[in-house]
Amino acid sequence: MVFDAAVIGAIGIDTNVYLSGNEVDLSAETSFGENLDCIGQSGGYSSQSFRRLGHKVCFIGYVGKDYSGEHIREVLLDQGIDISLLGIDPLGTKRSVNLMYKDGDERVSMTVRGL
């Protein structure tokens, strides 16, 4: 098959935590305004964007053999993105947690695997 775009890169789950204010005390239990999970990271955003523009896309990268990895596989397939070169990362699927402040700034971002 011939593709319009071959995306090589990181893919994982981005968890954006939208805070109700501009300060948060991370030393105590805190309530957050809204949490949003989506397929993200550079490869995730790029492959989905090319596909939404109508291009034939294949994605080359790795996800874990875990719930998040299976979710990513299913969503990319449903969107018509070829994942025949999507490998298994033994450390698990990447997840980034981003604290998004009311003023629009992202001040804390953490990336972990296997969650």
CATH of the domain at 63: 3.40.1190.30
CB 83 within 8 A of CB 4: no
Tell me, yes or no, whether 93 lies in a domain: yes
The residue to which tokens 């003023």 are assigned: 103
What pTM was estimated for this model as a whole? 0.84
Domain tally, the chain: 1
Structure tokens at 73: 């596989």
Contacts of 28 by beta carbon, 8 Å cutoff, 6+ apart: none
| Cβ 37 vs Cβ 96: under 8 Å | no
pLDDT (tens place) for every residue of the chain, 115 residues total: 899 999 999 999 999 888 877 777 777 777 677 888 999 999 999 999 999 999 999 999 999 999 999 999 999 999 999 999 999 999 999 999 888 888 777 767 777 776 5
In a domain, 108, yes or no: no
Give residue 41's domain range.
Answer: 5-20+34-103
Residue 29 within a domain? no
**How far is it, in rounded angstroms, from Cα 7 to Cα 86?**
11
pLDDT of residue 23: 73
